[in-house]
Structure 1
Amino acid sequence: MSKKYLLVLMLICFAAIAMADLPQPNIPIIRKQLIRAIDSKQITDSLYQSLGLFPQRTGVINAYRGALEALKAKHAWNPYYKIKYLNDAEDTFKQAVTQDPHNIEIRFMRFSVEHNVPGFLGYTKNLTADKEEMIRQVESKNYGTADQPLVIALIKFMLASKQCTSAELNTLNKQLAELK
């Protein structure tokens, strides 16, 4: 019995050491690649596959995978695959938000996808919740994984989205002025 316990303990230690040696994702590089993926099916597919190699995916990595699934829908020509990829994106975003519900980068990705998908497809059910959470986090200056340029882009996107009330617009404009 104790030999089995020792063997299991050694396997767990070796697995932990092996996992520690795996490269960690570089979020700023992934951000830049995602912007390039908007107009490139090849970059979308390549980045999606590379993010799939990380065995321990954080909420942010899952959100990037969700955004890439939405881009796969954009790049697909077959309507069946467009809907399939959007469904996959919705599930992946849900998982990402569950993992890190207050992360504005995750909420921003889901918000921007839902904002840009035609409303009649029914993928807009999280717009209000994401908008409110992003405004709360921006107001409290809890940017999480988002750097200042991303926060500025997030605020500008929300201002232009026509999804915000006048009070929310005032809050966002105030926060934007403080960041510049």
Structure 2
Amino acid sequence: MGIRFYVCLFFVVSSITCFGQINIDKMRSDYALAVKDKKLCETNLKILDEGANTVTEKGYLAAYEILWAKHKNNPFTKLSQFKKGKNLLESVIVKQKDNIDLRFIRWSVQTHAPSFLNYSKDRIDDKEFLVHNLKKLPSQEGKKIIYKYLSEANSYLKGDHAFSKAELAELSK
């Protein structure tokens, strides 16, 4: 009887502590896919909107807010949605400037944002930050996901925006 009680107690406590937690690695891996998958973007945006508590989770909330703009039809709505995500992203970066995920998100947004949005000034700084700091990300899975994204993006980057072979080698550590 005592063992059953403790086993049940363990499962109840585990459920309570796990309930509502956001799987950041899933958000990272879905990030590139959500650009083209409206349903995935909407689902992850809802999860993040309801449960983002940490700075990193709020950064991914901002990223999905920005991605959600791509799925809007009205240009004014697109712009408003983009600005909402951008403002959130910048506000969380101010709180934790050395957060690798935040700098990755901003780099990716600025790399893909149309030039008329005038949102690209931090791209080179964020690129250099990522080269020197990605290895410090505690999540091995997170490192793999971000490295894959960066190395695949490198195929269409030009000039200072492209990663050199040495930079890619440093990112892969």
TM-score (norm 1): 0.72
**In structure 1, how many angstroms separate the alpha carbons of the residues matched to 2:148 and 2:160?**
16
Q: Please identify the structure whose Cα radius of gyration is greater.
A: 1
> What is the identity, as a one-letter code, of the residue corresponding to 1:47?
N
Give the equivalent residue in structure 2 for 1:175. 170
**In structure 2, how many angstroms separate the alpha carbons of the residues matched to 1:133 and 1:118?**
23
Q: Is contact 2:132-2:170 (8 Å) kept?
A: no
> What is the identity, as a one-letter code, of the residue corresponding to 2:58?
N
* Mapping of residues 92-107 of structure 1, within 5 Å: 92-107=88-103
SS of aligned partner of 2:31: helix
Among 127, 130, 147, the alignment partner of 2:126 is: 130
Among 29, 35, 38, the alignment partner of 1:38 is: 35
Q: How far off is 1:144 after superposition?
A: 4.1
Q: How far off is 1:113 after superposition?
A: 1.1
Give the equivalent residue in structure 1 for 2:48. 51
> What is the identity, as a one-letter code, of the residue corresponding to 1:156?
S
> What is the identity, as a one-letter code, of the residue corresponding to 1:33?
D
Q: Deviations along 1:109-144, whole A, 9 cap, x unmatched?
A: 111111111112211122122122212214xx3124
Among 107, 110, 135, the alignment partner of 1:111 is: 107
Structure 1 stretches lacking a partner, 5+ long: 1-18
Among 62, 72, 77, the alignment partner of 1:76 is: 72
The reply on whether 1:149 has 2:149 as its aligned counterpart is no
Q: How far off is 1:71 after superposition?
A: 1.2
**In structure 2, how many angstroms separate the alpha carbons of the residues matched to 1:151 and 1:33?**
11
**In structure 1, how many angstroms separate the alpha carbons of the residues matched to 2:31 and 2:154?**
22
Deviates more, 1:122-131 or 1:141-150: 141-150
**In structure 2, how many angstroms separate the alpha carbons of the residues matched to 1:65 and 1:83?**
17
Q: Is contact 2:124-2:161 (8 Å) kept?
A: no
**In structure 1, how many angstroms separate the alpha carbons of the residues matched to 2:159 and 2:83?**
23
**In structure 1, how many angstroms separate the alpha carbons of the residues matched to 2:78 and 2:152?**
24
Structure 2 stretches lacking a partner, 5+ long: 1-15
> What is the identity, as a one-letter code, of the residue corresponding to 1:49?
K
Q: How far off is 1:154 after superposition?
A: 4.5
Flag the 1:31–1:97 CA change in 2: closer, same or farther, 3 A.
same
Higher relative contact order (CA 8 A, sep 6+): 2
TM-score (norm 2): 0.75
Flag the 1:173–1:125 CA change in 2: closer, same or farther, 3 A.
closer
Q: Deviations along 1:25-72, whole A, 9 cap, x unmatched?
A: 111222233333221222222211111112x62121112111111111
> What is the identity, as a one-letter code, of the residue corresponding to 1:87?
K
Root-mean-square deviation (CA, aligned residues, Å) is 2.7
SS of aligned partner of 2:121: coil
Give the equivalent residue in structure 2 for 1:66. 62
